[in-house]
Amino acid sequence: MSQPIDILLTQAIPASIDARLSADYTVHRLYQAEQAGQAEALLAQVGQRVRGVVTGGVKGLSNALMDRLGALEIIAISGIGTDAVDLQQASRRKIHVTTTPGVLTEDVADMALGLIIMTLRDLGVGERIVRAGQWGKTAQPLSHKVSGKRLGIVGLGRVGHAIARRAAAFSMSIAYSDPQRQDDSGYHFVADIAELAASVDILVLAASADHGQVIVTGEVLAALGPQGYFINVARGKLVDEAALVDALVHKKIAGAGLDVFADEPNVPPALLDLDNVVLQPHRASATEETRLAMGEIVLENLAACFAGQRPPTSVTA
């Protein structure tokens, strides 16, 4: 009888996916060991037997941990970001890195639109007033209309296109910046992000973070200006967060809706008491339907790898 395959799980996954993973493999829950202060003991015991890692796009897998897993064949990411995994290191070791593309597109676009509406219409402020029993006692300034605004999208990939489709239903004009000009999109292309920011009312960041460089700088935020809004459903590391905090605190931009941050789960304290920013705990894809669909792809990739096949969504050799 063949030896069960050892899998290292770095974070919690939906219960039904966890049950299926546990039925097919020997699962070692690193996140639980970390919480108990026993991660080192776990890795010392099973590290050299682990053939697969299941992780998230933000958590990824460090090179230091990858180096401790001598039998590793696959890093199955539940997400689309690969910036937290060294793809070159994985490729050198002939380790497959897989993602879950496509299934989270609509949820992330929904979150972007939700943040736009919440931010411009001050929905969070209004809810806090009602919950505090201050309706009729505390004056709330008028908010801003969403329909008809000029929208700029940084990154016209799957998510960017899905955001644009939703924005069109709100009669927004749409411009974009992307490494690749896409004339067949029908949207206005602006190569320079600062120039794009200067021409729109709302700037949405939906770019890939695979290379991780800051692309929304203080210059971009200055170009967006005191009447402009910034929305981020990509990665916090793509933004000069200190410049963003300064822009919000000193009202150099009108407001922001943020689902992601540079050092998660740490949110800059200066943002917590501001009424011109909506904050979310990186939950754009956190719906039952999408997380289950992501889990299915993870399971398919693992099964293919251990059957000696190329995993369907492998991004490495």
Contact between 259 and 284 under an 8 Å Cβ cutoff? The reply is: yes
Any idea which residue has 């994985």 for tokens?
Answer: 90
- Pick the catalytic residue from 29, 235, 241, 291: 235
Beta strands in 163-247 (DSSP E): 173-177, 188-189, 202-205, 229-232
- Pick the catalytic residue from 29, 51, 161, 282: 282
Contact between 243 and 217 under an 8 Å Cβ cutoff? The reply is: yes
- Pick the catalytic residue from 219, 264, 296, 300: 264
- For the question of residue 235 being annotated catalytic, the response is yes
Q: Tokens for 266?
A: 């740490």
- For the question of residue 289 being annotated catalytic, the response is no
Any idea which residue has 């790898």 for tokens?
Answer: 305
Sheet holding 6-9, edge to edge: 26-29, 6-9, 50-56, 74-78, 96-98
- For the question of residue 211 being annotated catalytic, the response is no
Concatenate the DSSP letters of all residues of 82-150 into one string.
-TTB-HHHHHHTT-EEE---STTHHHHHHHHHHHHHHHHTTHHHHHHHHHTT-TTTS--------TT-E
| Residues with active-site annotation | 235, 264, 282
